[in-house]
Structure 1
Amino acid sequence: MSKKTQATVVSGASSGIGRAIAEALLAQGRTVVNLDYNLPDWQHQNLVSFQADLTSEQATRERAAEIAAAYEVVALVNNAGATRPGTIDTATTAQLDDVVGLHLRAPMLLAQAFLPSLRASGQGRIVNMSSRAALGKVDRIVYSATKAGMVGMTRTMAMELGRDGITVNAIGPGPIATELFRKSNPEGAPQTQRILDSIAVGRMGTAEDVARAALFFLAPENGFVTGQILYVCGGTTLGQAPV
């Protein structure tokens, strides 16, 4: 029987932050498995993409099983996300169900599917993409709630899996200049300007800023860091109570 190829799974790697993480990993010579709703419009010889709606439990389970059967997954980045703007007055249960499935259920199912190979590697790595919004953000009630939930999931998984050599950490991006950000925060809009004014370093973040943080958590030599959340936010969390 031929040995499986070791791979890092990155959900939502077709674009934005996920793509930046995938490209950084590929530059290190790793094989990256992308799991996304849309197939990417870019290619690399070591990139393999699977299409799936991660808000669907069945689709997530099926794709995870396919990947687990084909690859030795040694690292997982739960990056796929959606904002679903809405206040307590306007948010719907459909929106809540959608983001719970994407931000909480899918990461749990993917981690469960890959646990055997993560454990077998002796130095498995899981990175969950939370958000600065986990500390609270107006018009993002279901988004901020589930991103905060990812922090709790991260800490508990870290406690449960540490003795297996698996580290579990989270990243909380702040204002990052991605298509997803621009869609919710149009250029020139008052709320967009307020965000820009709140950034201590005086600039928007880039997807590459977040990717560099992910590389730190994913590095095999960084096995003594687990259960942490790193806010890559340009200082926008300053003065906020930490989660």
Structure 2
Amino acid sequence: MDLGIQDRVAFVTGAAGGIGARVAAMLAQEGASVAIGDIDADAAEAQAARLRERGFAALAVRVDVASAASVDQAVATIAKTLGGVDILVNNAGFTRDKRIGRMDEGDWDAVIDVVLKGSFLCTKSVLPAMIEKKWGRIVNISSRAYLGNPGQANYSSAKAGLLGLTRSMAMENGRYNITVNAVAPGIIDTAAVRNLPHFEKIKANAEASLPLPRLGRAEDVAAAIVFLASEQASYITGDVLHVSGGRYG
């Protein structure tokens, strides 16, 4: 199936590893030129080099998504090297889990700034080129945690906020043939999850309780994102696609 993203330019944040790296690779396989955005410049370059070794067009850009100046510089670099951004995947994020009584202002701000403010800044920066081309795809990586998780008030709030941003941007920009959607993964088997001290318990609980009894794979999430970035999803906007094995509560 032709996804219609051949020769498009994609910017994936937090793409040096995990889900972001898999998304970038899958977009590259479909013919897009990809910019690997990450705050870790060396890791971003290593990932971009791996894609270039496979014959794909890939550029590493260091970006602190919580800084407007850093985001604008990264987008300008991408435009100069690859062309204006056609596809934006707001993937950068992390957890800093604590019960609310132990969560300080820094814990709250750090997660909100990267996940929610970062997505706002990246979206704002790439929109002019998309509007000029009358074509764009923005995919925000939310989480099933938007429904709430104990110990994740900061993360759940940020991921819930992304859904409001998604729907607002979809309504503002549909007239320019720009779609804005979100993907909400469940528990995905990534290096970060495997390094959790209670990983085996997480895995056992998933296998025992989910309608699809396994942990998700990065490929599962990447496939959903690439679909939403494609021409095949041209009449879908303002929506959220759950990739959670059937877990919603």
Normalising by structure 2, report the TM-score.
Answer: 0.87
User: What pairs up with 1:1-243 in 2 under 5 angstroms?
Assistant: 6-38=8-40, 39-40=43-44, 41-42=46-47, 43-45=50-52, 46-70=57-81, 71-184=83-196, 186-189=198-201, 193-237=204-248, 240=249
**Unaligned 5+ residue runs, structure 1?**
none
| SS of residue in 2 equivalent to 1:29 | coil
Q: Is the 8 A contact 2:131 2:176 kept in 1?
A: yes
Give the Cα separation in 1 of the matches to 2:234 and 2:223.
17
Kindly state the Cα deviation for residue 196 of structure 1 after the two structures are TM-superposed: 4.2
CA displacement, residues 154-213 of structure 1 (integer Å, 9 cap, x when unaligned): 011000001110000000000100112223463334x55434433221111000000110
1:139-161 per-residue CA deviation (whole Å, 9 max, x = no partner) reads: 11100110000011001100000
Q: What displacement does 1:230 show?
A: 0.5
Rounded Cα–Cα distance in structure 2 between residues aligned with 1:118 and 1:211:
22
> Is the Cα contact below 8 Å between 1:172 and 1:233 reproduced in 2?
yes
Q: Once the 2 structures are TM-superposed, how far is the Cα of residue 107 of structure 1 from its aligned partner? A: 1.2
Equivalent-residue separation in structure 1 for 2:86 and 2:228 (angstroms): 13
Q: 1:89 to 1:145 in 2, by over 3 A?
A: same
Superposed CA offset, 1:3-36 (max 9, x none): xx74110011111111111111111111001110
Q: Deviations over 1:29-85 (max 9, x none)?
A: 110011102223332221111112323343233323333444211110001110111
* Residue pair 1:123, 1:223 contacting (<8 A) in 2 also: no
Matched-pair identity in %: 36
**8 A Cα contact 1:36 1:50, kept in partner:** yes
Q: CA deviation at 1:106?
A: 1.4
Counterpart amino acid of residue 151 in structure 2: D
Contact 2:203 2:214 (C-alpha < 8 Å) held by counterparts: no
Query: How far did 1:101 drift?
Result: 1.3
- The SS at the match of 1:76 is strand
Stretch of structure 1 that moved more, 75-84 or 215-224: 215-224
SS in 2 for 1:73: coil
How far apart, CA to CA, are the structure 2 residues paired with 1:149 and 1:131?
11
* Distance change >3 Å, CA 128–CA 219, structure 1 → 2: same
- TM-score when scaled to structure 1? 0.89
Aligned positions, number: 233
Give the superposed CA RMSD.
1.8
Q: Secondary structure at the match of 1:114?
A: helix
Gaps of 5+ in 2: 1-6
Shift of 1:93: 1.0
Tell me which protein shows more helix as a share of its residues.
2
